[in-house]
Amino acid sequence: MKQRAKVVPLAKGEVLEIGVGSGLNLSFYDPRRVDHLLAIDPSKEIWNMNQIDTDSLGFGFDFEEAYAENLPLENNSIDSIVTTYTVCSIPKRKEAFLEMKRVLRPTGHIIFCEHGRSPERWIKMTQDVVNPIWKIMGGGCTINLDIPKVFEECGFRINQIDTMYIPGWKPACFNYWGTAKAI
């Protein structure tokens, strides 16, 4: 949860959260900065596990069952997109990032926290060996994504990025977090 607390409060204005899951990020949004949050996830069943009263968030909120590859939004309608531990499991990443570019306003940005490819040789090798099984067991999660490369290949420039291992099994715990802007 500490990683989420570093990035989610940066969201402002009209916000889109991709892969809201059961709502783990909701308590980290700053109601003084957010006007409205549209939270999407392809699994309504997981969303139904949410424990937060969305009426008490202090800003407008809607949940929609949707995929990142087909966002239910108008062009240039979003100020901030939040992804936390989501990019790894989007099957059609390029299409999803094209959709994010489409809905972001020219001044908008993506705020992200993702796990991915370690800089350490032995950990990278472990990630590569484990990834095929991990994807099957982890609902499509890719353990060895080079997050900066994914953003750049999909038409985004990283403005700010930090990295570290969070506690846990090292091959699954190398984290990237920061902001990116469409180019």
Checking phi first, is residue 179 left (phi over 0); if not, alpha (psi -120 to 50) or beta? beta
List, in order, residues 6 or more apart from 67 with CB less than 8 Å away: 40, 42, 96
Model pLDDT, residue 1: 62
Checking phi first, is residue 122 left (phi over 0); if not, alpha (psi -120 to 50) or beta? alpha
Segments in the chain below pLDDT 50 = none
**What residues does each domain of the chain span?**
2-182
Candidate CATH numbers 1.10.3720.10, 1.20.120.1810, 3.40.50.10420, 3.40.50.150; the one for domain 2-182? 3.40.50.150
- Residue-wise pLDDT for 1-17, tens only, equals 699 999 999 999 999 99
Distance CA 60, CA 99 (A): 22
The C-alpha angle with vertex 4 and arms to 2 and 119, in degrees rounded to 5, equals 80
Model pLDDT, residue 35: 98
The two tokens of residue 156 are 């985004």
